Amino acid sequence: MASKLGMNAFTVQESVNMEAFSDFNYEEIDLSSAGAVSVSAITSANPAKKVVIYNEPAAGGTLEADDTITLTINSKTAKISRDHLPFTLSGLLVTSLTLTNDDPEGSEGLAVLSFH
């Protein structure tokens, strides 16, 4: 029986059986230079139902303690720090996601896992 808490509360087996998520994508985002970086797999034609952003050393290096990341989610902005990671977006269809490091220096990156 399906969970009564919505799509984001399905067990793995329920998600598979009911095809809650049809696809997923993993992308490493390099935030070592100035400027915004868009997640290429998330588009209006292929919206994400759930997104997990986390600090992955293999994704170009770890964030420093003083780094602030600006997220632009469906044209709305939010700021997170390294302390907020992993950061999960759920409960909305994400049609665009852009990440900007407010203090780029050295090699810094994040990993983004999106479920479609």
pLDDT number for residue 8 = 56
Average pLDDT on 58-66 reads: 72
User: What does pLDDT average to over the chain?
Assistant: 83
Better-predicted residue by pLDDT, 41 or 33: 41
pLDDT (tens digit, 9 = 90+) per residue, 69-99? 999 999 999 999 888 999 999 888 999 999 9
Residues with Cβ within 8 Å of residue 73, at least 6 apart in sequence: 89, 94, 96, 97
> All domains of the chain, ordered by start, with CATH?
22-115 (2.60.120)
Is pLDDT larger for residue 98 or for residue 13?
98
Q: Taking a C-beta distance cutoff of 8 angstroms, is the pair 56, 85 a contact?
A: no
- Percentage of the chain beyond pLDDT 90 is 39
